[in-house]
Structures are given as C-alpha cells and as structure tokens.
Structure 1
C-alpha cells in the first residue's frame, strides 16, 4: 500500500511494518527535516497507519492552505481527545467560517488597545522576577526558555481571561502545558495509554479546560452586572449579552430596524464551549510565541547594534519618557521594532509545518494526486527562506522590511498561514512581541553565552535554539 501511494515522489523505498520511521522521529532532527524539504517539491513518509505527503514549495503550500474542499486541519489523532472533537478548530466549511466570524470582534483595534495594560502589567512582574533570578544565581548564564514560556503563558492568560485566573493557576498551566505539546507530536501512539505522553497530555488539557470554564462563569456574572471588559473573554461575553438582548427585543415585537442589531449576532455559548476555544487560542500561541521570544532575545543579545536601535526608537516614540505606558498609536510608530519582530518570525518561523487531513483525492500537481485519508503537510520554512523573495535568507536583516522589498513578498509570508484557517491572532501576536522587546530594551539588559550550538535548531512542536542560556541584568 505504501509503494502504491508513493507513486514516484521522493521517499523511502520501503517502510518498517506498522511503525515506519517512528523511532528516529521520537527526537526530531531539524537537519533531517530540512533534507526532506530540499529532496523534492513533494516527498513522503509513513508513520503508523498514516501516509504523509510533505509539500516543500511556496506554491504547493499555498495551494494546500487554500483548498478547504480537499483538506482540513487535523493536527494528530490524539488531538480530538485533548482538544475535544466538538472543538471549533475541527469544524469544516460554512460551520467553521461562521464560528470564526463570531471571533473576529475579539481582535479589532479597539479590542487590542484594551488588552495592552494587562500585557504590560505582566511584563513588569516578570522583568523584575528575571532580574532577581539572575542576582540569586550570581549573574551566571542559566537556561531562560522555560521562563519565557511562563511569561508568554501569563501574558496569554491575562489577555484571554484577565484577572479571573489566579497566579497559581497560571503557573500550573505554564508548567504543564508542555505535556499537551508533547502529546500532540506527530509520532506519539494514537491511543491513550496510562503514564505515556498522551495520558499526561490529556490530564493537563483537562486541567486547562476546567480553569478556563471557571473563568467563563465569572466573566458572565461580572459582564451581566455591567463590568468593564478588559480581556478577550469579557468582550466575547459582552457580544453574547448584546445578541440576547437583541433577540429579546425582536421577540417582544420591536421592529428589526429599531432593535439595535449588534455587528455580529451570537448564540449563547456554554462555559465549556468557551473553554475549548480559549484552549485552542493558548495552543496556537504558547509554543509559537515562546519560540519567537527566545530567538528574539538571543539574537538581540548577540547583535547589540540592533538592540541599540530598538532602544533609540522606544525613547523616541515615548517622547523621552521611558515610563510612558504602551498605546497602539505608540506601537504604530515602531517601524524598526516591527522590522525586528517580522525578521525574527521569518528567520526562525515558529510554525514550520501545518498538518492537514485529505478529505478526498487531491490533485496537488500534474503528476501526483494525494490519496484520500492521507496527511499532507505544507512547510512554511522554505517559502520564508526563499532567496528570490528574501535575498541572503540565512542572514538576519531587519532592514529588508524597511528599505528592502520584503513587505511586498506577501505570497511568501506564510508565518501565520493563509486561506480560511489563517491565524486569527496574527496582529495581536506581532504587537505583543513588539511591546515585549520594546519594553525590555528600556528596563533590562541581558547577555548570551554563545556556544557552537547557539544557532542550531531544536524541534519541539516549534523550533528553539539548542542552547538557551542568558542572565538578565538590571
């Protein structure tokens, strides 16, 4: 069956019965991924019962992203058990489009502005903590990626659910979320067996869902009492309340044109439905932003001339007041800081592959049709390292976004995907990283202990530096 499905595209000539290359994939090697991508525009492997086609070019990736009639996001089999089968990310067609419409209002400019005070509050707390940790350690280099993960988890939770969640719960989620990530890797066993990665991942996912459901219940009470919305959850609940009042007015006989129809009319979502959606937001953001943050801080430490330019710009947009609180107008003026963030996301894209399930035979090229039931995985890395779009792609060059034509390469900019499943929070993610590095440049300094492995890439859902040690200085 494997040879029949392979039909001439690049791939092993045979597979180990049942498990395929499972053992060599337990500790994924970026260099092997890269070799696979460069072996041909289409290649394949087979793991367990899944036949997997890998699409390496920009055009193939875009074709897959924009083919909802043929493919749907699938993550891995175990994802349905962790995220729940009724989760909105598994919806297809019109149901998925309609659900997304109800979420668009959570990422408007007004909404993004309202989230900034909470984000900055978290930054203040963790920068102080980072400095104290470094002092206690005698300013010796220590691994900081786990701390960045906790910081980004805290920022996400504050943005998603405000102060409804306790600091202890945030810390628990930050500590345990990697269990969910590990459970959702491609090469795990497709069933839950006690004391395996999938078992621990399921327990962690249950805990996160429970915490978010509690927050939802609290928000509904507070918003019904007229509270001011200050997080994504609040804004979603306010939309539901406005929609229900509109339906009540219609039921009372008020003419539609006089009933005050909201921009988006939503149904009532249960606490658990809201919880599932917030979990997918966290799943989409936690590992990706942790990756981008880790690379960005390392690169700025290794290239202090870039960090100096960020500091100069930060003081300029604040009119010399380094204590000025962040606003969206201020972020709009951060041309160089934005270039640093975009170049980080291009140079070391957090999401390097996006798995899809093929719903029906999909003619991907003139010579090859991906069989129904297969998995097809477009990579974003090659499009973002295409020398025709980004000259000297292995060089970190933020000026390509200012004086170059990188902004014009929209077809190659696949950091957040494209098509019907593009990332809803892409603007939020970039603004969050800009706010983070901008504030850090004014309040702390940091050094990086460079080693031969510093630029080597480790794959764990996303990509990280293999060595991640840095002390924070006041």
Structure 2
C-alpha cells in the first residue's frame, strides 16, 4: 500500500524529499560561514555576538531607526572604542562615534580606501552620474566647474528667489491656520516649500507647471523609496523610487540643455544652472575652437544627475533644519526675541522690499542661531561610506573590505562643545567663546575633506532667510505633546509630531512680491 502511494507522488516531490537533507546541510553551512565571517570582521568591536542569517538587525532598524542608531552609539560610547559593529541585509557595518575617526574616513575617500555612497544602496537608487561617487582629479575638476554656482553674486540672485517663495508659502500657512483655528504640522508644508525653492533656484525658468507637478510626484516616490527595503522588483517602493529618479534626472538634463542654449545666446543668469552653464559653455566652445572634444561631465543627462544630487542635498536636510529651528525658537523665547529685534533693525515686512545681501550679512545673531540649529540637530545624522579595500582605521582595528561604515555627524555635534545638550546660539556669536573655531572638528554637519558640502553657504542662507521672514510675519506657538520633539527619520531627522504649531499673522500688512 505504502509503495503504491509513493509511486503516485510526483517525481519532483520525491527528488525534493531526497535532496532535503542536503539542502538543510547547505543552509546550515551558509549560516555557519556567515556567522564566522561576521565574528572575524567584528574582532574586538562591541556588537551582537550572533546575527540573524542574511537579515541581521534590519528588522530593528526599519521598526525604530532612531532607537537602532542610539544602540550603536551607546555601544561605541560605553566600550570606549568609539566604534560599534552590526550586520544588515548581508552587509557588515561599522558605526563611528568618535569625531577623529570620522575625519579619518572623510579624509580618505579614494578608490583604495573609502567610497562615499550616501545610502547603503545609493548607487542603484541615485544613478551613476552623481558627485558623491567621484574621486581624485576628476572630482576636483568638477567641483571647480561647480564653484561659480555659489559665488556672492550667485547667492544674491538665489536670495531674492528664496524670499519670494518663502513668503508665498508662509502666507498660505497663515491663511490655512486662520481658517481652521487649529495647530498645523509644518513638516510637509516645509518640504513642499523647499521643493519649490530648489526647483526655482536650481532650474527656475526651464520647468513648466506640468513638469513641476510630475517632479513633485517623482520626488515623493524617491523619498518613500529611501526608507524602504531595497527590493528592485515591480510593485515595490524601491523600484518606484529608482524609476522616479531616472525621470527626474532626464527632466533636469533637459533644463541643462535649455540653459546651455540661453547662456550661449548671451542671456543673464537667473538660476543656479545658468551660472553653471555660463562657464561650461565657455569651456565647451574653447575646446571646439581648438579641435578638442568637449570637457568631461558636460553632457546634459550627466549634469541632470549632478543637479539631482544638489536637489537631494538641499531638500530634505533643509526641511529638517526649518522644523527644528521653529521648535527651538518656541522653546527659547529669549532667542526668538533677539532674532526678531535684529531682523527689525534691518528689514520690515511693510517695507515693500526684499532683503539685500548686505542686510542678510548684517544679521550675525540670526546666523549664529542657524548654525546652532544645524549643530544641535544635524539633519543627515549619518554619512555612509563603503570600504573599497581593507583600511586600518586605528592601531588595533582594520575595517574589512566591503564593510559599510557610518560616521555619525550627530554624535560628533555633541562632543567637545561645552554643555552640548543646550541650545545656545551664543556659542557661535560670542567673540569670547568662538566655539565654531575651537570645536570646528566636531562640527561635521556639512562633512569634511574632499567631499565637504559645496552648498553649505546656500543652505545656511536659506535657514537664515526663513528664520528672518517667518518670525517677522508670524506669531507661532508650538503644540507641545509628550514626545513631540523626539527625532524620527523622514529620511532626515524631524520632530516626531511633524512640528505642530499654532500660527497667526504678526505684521500689519503681509508682504507681496
């Protein structure tokens, strides 16, 4: 009877049953080899002794990113090593808390050491044409060509655009708040404001209204994909994000093409890509006249990729800083009063004029507040790199090839500075304290080394302008609830409640430009 039943079973099932012991042995061997490999790479570093096969600690990281990285920081601090190890989706990782060790990583971005990746699966997500993946002279040459984008003249052009966009959005927030009478979370409105600011500053005249709508949708897909599991299959958020980025890069590349034509025809720069293409077209034309090929990295789609890099750097980091700035000012009315007084001395909402570059530069205390916001809550808390080759990070530990290292600029921001847990703009304003100089090596929110953020002055200017305009036209009160200021990843850190505030118009006449 049993023999007859066996004969009725499919041959494939019988083969699978016969192979089951071998498959089980293979899985067991894989798990054993993976565990031994992890322990060998971990060496003396603190971290889990056993890891879940292939997945590692990814469940904890996805469920509670802030808590996961807090655990890494605690291990690094309590062990006294400044380092901690863990395992995520088949990859060995090293968390770096110590500022000097972070500097060692930033100072050694090169093919045979560390490669900046921006995201554990960033190259696949961001695409090939991205500034963060470049090295050596090629990278230096591109940064030289980008430098005209951030001259005082260019920043002055952007400041006028920024002010118009900020005021238009804040005006809508005030109308919405007046109509509802309720507290509103400003994270998403800040993100929308920043997206319009970035679009207009970077490629303003070249985006149609329809392109802007598609742009916003694709950027939302990208944001969702950043925080999703890296499953590159139809129907998954990561795949939608990757395809969205490809469309964004093509759109930005078309903007570069239009700007090239306009700059070659003698047009005046009106946005960032114009300042960039003005110099680029001069170099392209000089090369053509000499019978040479166009300079490297002047292809439209390549430039689109680099512009996307700028957009990503400016967008979510700025959203984070604006939210934390509002929360900090609400919690420190003395700081708020000083900012309002300083702004009122140089600009009034009823003046009918925008702030000039000279007036922006005169607001030294407001600039100190902006720097303290970035120190106190650095938006991009971690800067992932991958070890292209084994690298001796300390006398007693070598980072193995293929490991992903996470220098924590957040942890560095709370090292060295006196009373680091206090929000204290005076540390960057006082001539006696000058902590921006004394503890410069711990102020890593904009990175360090060859890949230090090119647009940091633009980013700080944007925060200063927002602070100056917002506090001048709006009275605001934070809707404080338990845990509202706990940092959550979106993908940069923001207050847990989205920064809920009650808003009311402060000025007699709202400015319109």
For residues 387-398 of structure 1, the aligned pairs below 5 Å read 389-398=416-425
For residues 232-271 of structure 1, the aligned pairs below 5 Å read 232-248=272-288, 250=290, 269-271=298-300
Q: Following the alignment from structure 2 to structure 1, what is the Cα–Cα distance between the partners of residues 212 and 327?
A: 25
Q: Following the alignment from structure 1 to structure 2, what is the Cα–Cα distance between the partners of residues 330 and 19?
A: 53
Structure 1 residue 224 displacement after superposition = 2.5
Cα pair distance change 1:457/1:113, threshold 3 Å: same
User: Which segments of 5 or more consecutive residues in structure 1 lack a partner in the other structure?
Assistant: 253-264
Q: Following the alignment from structure 2 to structure 1, what is the Cα–Cα distance between the partners of residues 109 and 483?
A: 40
Query: Which protein has greater RCO, CA pairs closer than 8 Å, 6+ apart?
Result: 1
Secondary structure of 1:351's counterpart equals coil
CA contact (8 A) 1:384 1:414 kept: yes
Q: Following the alignment from structure 1 to structure 2, what is the Cα–Cα distance between the partners of residues 462 and 222?
A: 36
Secondary structure of 2:345's counterpart equals helix
2:164 corresponds in structure 1 to 121
Cα pair distance change 1:320/1:188, threshold 3 Å: closer
1:437 corresponds in structure 2 to 467
CA contact (8 A) 2:378 2:445 kept: yes
Counterpart pick for 2:64 among 21, 28, 32: 28
Q: Following the alignment from structure 2 to structure 1, what is the Cα–Cα distance between the partners of residues 405 and 171?
A: 45
Structure 1 residue 436 displacement after superposition = 1.3
CA contact (8 A) 2:61 2:68 kept: no
Q: Following the alignment from structure 1 to structure 2, what is the Cα–Cα distance between the partners of residues 472 and 206?
A: 38
CA contact (8 A) 1:153 1:170 kept: no
Q: Following the alignment from structure 1 to structure 2, what is the Cα–Cα distance between the partners of residues 76 and 309?
A: 39
Structure 1 residue 346 displacement after superposition = 0.7
RMSD: 2.1
Calculate the TM-score normalised by the size of structure 2.
0.84
1:449 corresponds in structure 2 to 479
Cα pair distance change 1:320/1:287, threshold 3 Å: closer
Secondary structure of 1:437's counterpart equals helix
CA contact (8 A) 2:129 2:306 kept: no
Calculate the TM-score normalised by the size of structure 1.
0.91
Secondary structure of 2:386's counterpart equals strand
Q: Following the alignment from structure 1 to structure 2, what is the Cα–Cα distance between the partners of residues 221 and 97?
A: 26
Cα pair distance change 1:95/1:63, threshold 3 Å: same
Query: Where does structure 1 differ by over 4 angstroms across 4 or more consecutive aligned residues?
Result: 248-252, 265-268, 319-322
Cα pair distance change 1:229/1:320, threshold 3 Å: closer
CA contact (8 A) 1:416 1:422 kept: yes
Q: Following the alignment from structure 1 to structure 2, what is the Cα–Cα distance between the partners of residues 37 and 340?
A: 27
Tell me which moved more, 10-19 or 199-208.
199-208
Would you say how many aligned residue pairs link Structure 1 and Structure 2?
A: 457
1:177 corresponds in structure 2 to 219
1:261 corresponds in structure 2 to none
Counterpart pick for 1:64 among 83, 105, 113: 105
1:330-377 deviation line (CA, Å, top 9, x unaligned): 121111101110110011110111000101111111111000111111
Structure 1 residue 176 displacement after superposition = 4.2
Q: Does 1:312 align with 2:354?
A: no
CA contact (8 A) 1:322 1:442 kept: no
Counterpart pick for 1:12 among 48, 56, 67: 48
Cα pair distance change 1:455/1:44, threshold 3 Å: same
Counterpart pick for 1:359 among 388, 393, 397: 388
Q: Does 1:74 align with 2:117?
A: yes
Tell me which moved more, 276-285 or 157-166.
157-166
1:400 corresponds in structure 2 to 427
2:490 corresponds in structure 1 to 460
Q: Following the alignment from structure 1 to structure 2, what is the Cα–Cα distance between the partners of residues 396 and 172?
A: 39
The structure in which a higher percent of residues are helix is: 2
User: Which segments of 5 or more consecutive residues in structure 2 lack a partner in the other structure?
Assistant: 1-36, 77-81, 506-513
Q: Following the alignment from structure 1 to structure 2, what is the Cα–Cα distance between the partners of residues 368 and 199?
A: 37
Secondary structure of 1:159's counterpart equals helix
Q: Does 1:133 align with 2:196?
A: no
